[in-house]
Amino acid sequence: MTLGALQAKLPARYTFSDRLQNYPTAQSRALLTRLQEGTSEDVLAHTSAMFSELAGKATAFDATDGLRITFDRGDIIHLRPSGNAPELRCYTESATPERAATLGGKVLEMMRKS
């Protein structure tokens, strides 16, 4: 199978990225620490509670670089502090470019208010 044929079999995925500027690094880290407290089940429960209206139930997460959360509706939200500026970065992935952008905007609005 060619690489092109293999790619054609994969579902379409679209990404969006943005950031909250002037968001202190300490505040970013405190948020991520709070979301990652406890067991893996606790982390999934915390993130599901925070983002369920936007993305559904959290089914998996990766804390390698910030917090990347996968949801049962297929969306992904990845939050991390900037490494060189007082910013909270947000990356989203979804089935359409519009959905990825909408999700990213709503997540950042939530973070701005928190």
Q: Which domain holds residue 16?
A: 12-113
- Residue 12 pLDDT level (bands cut at 50, 70, 90): confident
Flag whether 2 is in a domain. no
How many domains, in total, are found in the chain?
1
Q: How high is the pLDDT of residue 11?
A: 85
- Taking the C-alpha atoms of residue 28 and residue 34, their distance in angstroms, rounded to an integer, is 10
**In this structure, is residue 5 part of a structural domain?**
no
Instruction: For 62-111, write each residue's pLDDT tens digit.
Output: 999 999 999 999 999 999 999 899 999 999 999 999 999 999 999 999 99
Query: Does any domain span residue 73?
Result: yes
Give alpha helix (H) positions in 3-82: 3-9, 25-35, 40-55
The mean pLDDT of the chain is 95
pLDDT per residue over 27-51, tens digit each?
Answer: 999 999 999 999 999 999 999 999 9
Question: Under DSSP, is residue 64 helix (H, G, I), strand (E, B) or coil?
Answer: coil
Cα(10)–Cα(15) distance, rounded to whole angstroms?
Answer: 15
